[in-house]
Amino acid sequence: MSGELVLYNTLTRTKEPFAPLEPGRVRIYSCGPTVYNRQHLGNLRTYLFPDLLNRTLRYFGYPVRHVINITDVGHLTSDADSGDDKMEKAARETQTSAWEIAAKWTAVFRADLAKLHFREPDVWCKATDHIPQQIEMIRALEAKGFTYRTGDGIYFDTAKDPHYGELARLDLAAQAASGRIEHASEKRNPSDFALWKLSPPSAQRQMEWDSPWGRGFPGWHIECSAMSVEYLGKTFDIHTGGADHIPVHHPNEIAQSENALGVRPWVRYWMHTGWLMFEGEKISKSTGGSVLNLDELIAKGFEPLAFRYFALGGHYRQQLTGRRPPGGGWCATPRSCAATPATAARSRPRRCARASAKRSPTT
């Protein structure tokens, strides 16, 4: 394929001609799900973008190496490093083990992607399989003076990194002044984040490991930095994720990687997917009525590929909104029921919903 491929880069907020770091191959890392429950339709929309990107790069003649991670430990209910570990909380609520929860929802997630004809990545990697690599990266940051210890763990000191938050255009001074961001009381700065959390002294976690700092578990962000090094090297071409990763998770990944590895920029292009909205609200457990996951959509008479068609009907960076038209119903097309491809629909939906695309606030 001849012609120039141009990609929008969140880092620069501009469209840039694409050129791989190493001629002849493209390396992509996509932040994957936290597997404490089923991924809903909004999550699945996020993963259809790296699939589209992978296929587009191959169409342009690039061999692609694509890595997706599975977060199966360390993602707390609050992004501010407080609250429960989502995996352990789900295990308690269902009276099973965190390991069983992770295995179950990972399998369901991958089955959902297969139903959507998602092109399998070259590597699926999960956080619990890479604890030594995460410890090694934290030790590298510690040796360079980027960490400090609190009562509950080892934290990254964002004040030590003059480039911290550039991806998100964070105003750290305003954060500190307003105190708007809830944070653990022992943090030096609101934007500091956990690299290693210590197990509570009074309770035994299901998932915990020994480390140079004590028994505990890795913070959420360090897994992506450590696993991308493992499978893609110290730098790579494209990093994808949902737009909700722009303010916290991705700035933290950048800070860890650039300072531990001594490279900058760590990643050349950052690409983020807009949310799937329903009736004006982000799709989550509390919205979207009963049409929440792929099986429920299938039960309503839709082919999974109809959802793929729906999701690709809006620009990946834009917010895609589903609406119930007067009379109710659903239809997997951004314009009208009539546009549903016959090949994608197992049976013609009796009812119709429409989708519209709205420009993302990050564009």
First-to-final CA distance of the chain = 28
CB nearer to Zn ion: pick between 33 and 314: 33
Q: Closest approach of Cβ 194 to Zn ion, in Å?
A: 15
Q: Closest approach of Cβ 309 to Zn ion, in Å?
A: 28
Q: By the 8 A CB rule, do 29 and 236 touch?
A: yes
Q: By the 8 A CB rule, do 337 and 302 touch?
A: no
CB nearer to Zn ion: pick between 31 and 207: 31
Question: Coil, helix or strand for 245?
Answer: helix
How many residues bind Zn ion, per CB under 5 A?
Answer: 2
Stretch that binds Zn ion, among 24-32, 107-115, 148-156, 351-359 (CB under 5 A): 24-32
Q: Closest approach of Cβ 71 to Zn ion, in Å?
A: 8
Q: Closest approach of Cβ 228 to Zn ion, in Å?
A: 8
Q: 320-354 burial by CB neighbour count: b if 16+ within 10 A, else e?
A: bbbebeeeeebbbbbeebeebeeebbeeebeebbb
Q: Closest approach of Cβ 48 to Zn ion, in Å?
A: 18
Site string for Zn ion, 184-223 (x = CB under 5 A): ----------------------------------------
Q: How far is CA 299 from CA 4, 290, 293, 296, 345, in A?
A: 42, 11, 10, 5, 13
Amino acid (one-letter) located at 7: L
Which member of 224, 255, 306, 331 binds Zn ion (CB under 5 A)? 224
Q: Closest approach of Cβ 335 to Zn ion, in Å?
A: 34
Instruction: State yes or no: residue 131 binds Zn ion (CB under 5 A).
Output: no
Question: Coil, helix or strand for 310?
Answer: helix
Write the CB contacts of 280 (distance below 8 Å, at least 6 apart in sequence): 321
Q: Closest approach of Cβ 223 to Zn ion, in Å?
A: 7
Tokens of 290: 């009963």
Site string for Zn ion, 238-277 (x = CB under 5 A): ----------------------------------------
Instruction: State yes or no: residue 31 binds Zn ion (CB under 5 A).
Output: yes
Tokens of 193: 């984040």
Q: Cα torsion at 26, 363, 254, 66 (round to 10°)?
A: -30
Region of 352 (left: φ > 0; alpha: ψ -120 to 50; beta: rest) is: beta
Radius of gyration of the chain (CA): 21
Stretch that binds Zn ion, among 23-31, 73-81, 182-190, 352-360 (CB under 5 A): 23-31
CB nearer to Zn ion: pick between 243 and 353: 243
CB nearer to Zn ion: pick between 224 and 331: 224
Site for Zn ion in 330-349 (CB under 5 A): none
Site string for Zn ion, 137-176 (x = CB under 5 A): ----------------------------------------
Binding site for Zn ion (CB under 5 A): 31, 224
